[in-house]
């Protein structure tokens, strides 16, 4: 559920909602290593890329499952 009181920030032409994310130190360290290696400009971009990949991979399946649900009473 989204908190409508969240802070929105502009990133280029896109408005983005700020969220809090808790990750194990090991994962944060690996993300930072990817940044240090030049894979991403910062940890936020690395996390956004991971979320984009997840959404592209799974969203179609979730939407198909939701289409099969009938709301008729």
Q: What's residue 67's pLDDT? A: 62
Q: What is the band of 2 on the pLDDT scale with cuts at 50, 70, 90? A: low
34 contact partners, CB below 8 Å, separation of at least 6 = 40, 46
Distance CA 13, CA 31 (A): 25
Which pLDDT does position 60 carry in this prediction? 78
Half-sphere exposure of 67 (CA within 13 A, CB side): 6
User: DSSP per residue over 2-34, as a string?
Assistant: --TT--EEEETTEEEE-------HHHHHHHHHH
pTM listed for this prediction: 0.68
CA atoms within 13 A on the CB side of 39: 15
pLDDT in tens, 20-66: 999 999 999 999 999 999 999 999 999 999 999 999 888 877 777 66
Q: What is the pLDDT of residue 34?
A: 98
């Amino acid at each position: 559920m989204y908190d409508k009181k969240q802070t929105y920030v502009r990133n280029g032409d896109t408005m983005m909602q700020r969220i809090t994310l808790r990750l194990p130190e090991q994962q944060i360290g690996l993300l930072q290593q990817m940044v240090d290696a030049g894979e991403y400009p910062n940890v936020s971009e690395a996390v956004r890329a991971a979320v984009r990949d997840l959404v592209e991979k799974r969203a179609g399946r979730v939407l198909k499952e939701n289409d099969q649900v009938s709301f008729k009473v």
